[in-house]
Structure 1
Amino acid sequence: MRHIARRGVVVCGVAGLLAPVTLALGAAPAQAASCTTRTGPYQKQVEKFLGRPVDGRQSAADCSAIRAFQSKHGITPTIGYAGPVTWGVMDLMNKQKAVGKKPNRSGKCPTNKGRIACVDLTLQLSWIQDGSRLVYGPVPVRTGRDGYETRTGLKKVYWRDLHHVSSLYNVPMPYSQFFDGGQAFHSVGLSMWNPPGSHGCVNMTTKDAKKYWSLLRKGDDVYVYGRKPGT
């Protein structure tokens, strides 16, 4: 079983960390493309999110602002179009912000387990709580894409590896804490809003992965629930 689990770890690690390479290879054509003059279906919503004048008409300044947002979060093609993917990321950010410091308002993550790491796939948020007391978070995370969904249910941290590297692909997975087969919390050098997602792992920023490493221990509970948008 240990061999199988480690094989799963390798697959997850590659999925989360090869994405920047793919994006880098595809970035040049997207960046070289002309800034679109087309008005997108979510023009007003995107303008409002970016603090632009909300007139529902694409301008050169609108396109520049949208392209900067797309470039920052790995949304392609980077042409400044206010389409469903760009708005979907912004809408998720708005929903995450609205949660504030009450991520378990619905009570879906168990409060009778002591210290537990919660993962809300619907909002792409994670946090650590002890009973009903919030210990850390909520923080944005990047979970499994369509076909590689992060599995739901109650799990436990069963293996921790601070400097984990995939033995098959030689891909680093810093601060790995595995809780379900090859699925783990670990840091990646990507925006947490970079679509479409990981191959099952719960990606985090380095800052948050370090904090999770310091707060969780082998045997601690992890609860994953909800459904990631687009899966």
Structure 2
Amino acid sequence: MISGPVASRGLAVLLTAAALLPVGAAAALPARPAPAPVPESELVPGVPPGPHQPWQIDTPDQVLAPHVYRPSAAEDAVEPKGAPDGTYDLIEWVPLADAAARVTCTRSTGPYQRAVERYLKLKVDGKQSAADCKAIQAFQKKENIKPAIGFAGPVTWARVMWLSARKNPNAAKKCPETDARVACVDLDRQLTWVQKGPKVVLGPLTMRSGRKAYPTRTGWHTVYWKHKNHVSTLYNTPMPYAQFFDGGQAFHAVYGTIHTTVGSMGCVNLTVRDARKLWDVLKKGDRVYVWGRRPGS
């Protein structure tokens, strides 16, 4: 027990502090700070995986330049198999707590909050609100993104990027317009398209490029080898409709979702359908121009 001058001074300080508090202040709580955006590295798929969605976080691609040879006519005649139904469904990555609790409208701030707010013409403050959640949720339902809980994650962002670019992907003129055909690879928006001069011949197509440790190399490249039924010699992994443009880096399809938080080992991954379209448009000797940086890398 403390007594004497020390106790008297302590009591005086407490009484003075209490006198300075406004009436009712004892019940008031400090404003709760807005939650920080949830980093992509902490997100999980928002729905349980199935046979069509194995939830690979990585598709091992060709790291080294392949052995170039002339495929036989019989080999070229075989079309790669299609992906199982549901493989490329738009499954959003959400916070683990939201997935476990099966929330209907998230209070979490997504890593792409500002970009999605801007597209939906909401207040761009990078903070999730009840109104933001409802607007993002409505967008997700319209675009068939699951789960539609209003979380501004990488899949919702990818859809926003594609919708924003589909009329004119080269509006910013970042891909050079030449007389020759050019495959444009926009790492910033994770989109690729083919143009000749100012005319877009194909796309834009949603893609997945290399991760931080294995980035898709920027600058000018050339399609030097096409192999419709290529298989990675390093990982024995199918690389349908492979079109190599820089060492071991190529455009090719994957039999898993391209909407992941982790990038490839350097290749430009596409759906089977989009890789087939690109295969039919690009020819050996066509130029490839890569710029930007994959978000989160």
Establish whether TM, by shorter chain, passes 0.5.
yes
Extract unaligned runs of 5+ from structure 1: 8-19, 21-28, 53-61, 70-79
Amino acid at match of 1:109: C
Aligned match for 1:68, one of 147, 158, 163: 147
Extract unaligned runs of 5+ from structure 2: 1-62, 68-86, 88-95, 110-127
Q: Could you report, residue by residue, the CA deviation over 1:95-140 in whole angstroms, capped at 9, with x for unpaired residues?
A: 3211222111111211125111001110111001111111010111
**Where do 1:27-46 residues align within 5 Å?**
33-35=100-102, 39-41=107-109, 42=128, 44=130, 45-46=132-133
Q: SS state of the match for residue 6, structure 1?
A: coil
- 1:66·1:81 contact (CA, 8 Å) conserved in 2? no
Aligned mates of 2:267, 2:252 — CA distance in 1: 8
Aligned mates of 1:163, 1:212 — CA distance in 2: 15
1:106 maps to 172
Q: CA RMSD in A?
A: 3.0
Residue 51 (1) aligns with residue 118 (2): no
1:184 maps to 250
Higher relative contact order (CA 8 A, sep 6+): 1
Q: Taking every aligned residue pair, what percent have the same amino acid on both sides?
A: 44
Amino acid at match of 1:229: P
Shift, 1:43, TM fit: 5.7
The 3 A distance-change label for structure 1 pair 43 and 144 is farther
2:6 maps to none
Aligned mates of 1:166, 1:87 — CA distance in 2: 31
1:160 maps to 226
Q: SS state of the match for residue 95, structure 1?
A: helix
- Comparing 110-119 with 91-100, greater Cα deviation is found at 91-100
- Comparing 195-204 with 34-43, greater Cα deviation is found at 34-43
- 2:135·2:150 contact (CA, 8 Å) conserved in 1? no
Shift, 1:88, TM fit: 3.8
1:124 maps to 190
How many residues in Structure 1 have an aligned counterpart in Structure 2?
185
Aligned mates of 1:198, 1:4 — CA distance in 2: 14
Q: Which has the larger radius of gyration?
A: 2
TM-score by structure 2 length? 0.55
Shift, 1:46, TM fit: 4.5
The 3 A distance-change label for structure 1 pair 88 and 174 is closer
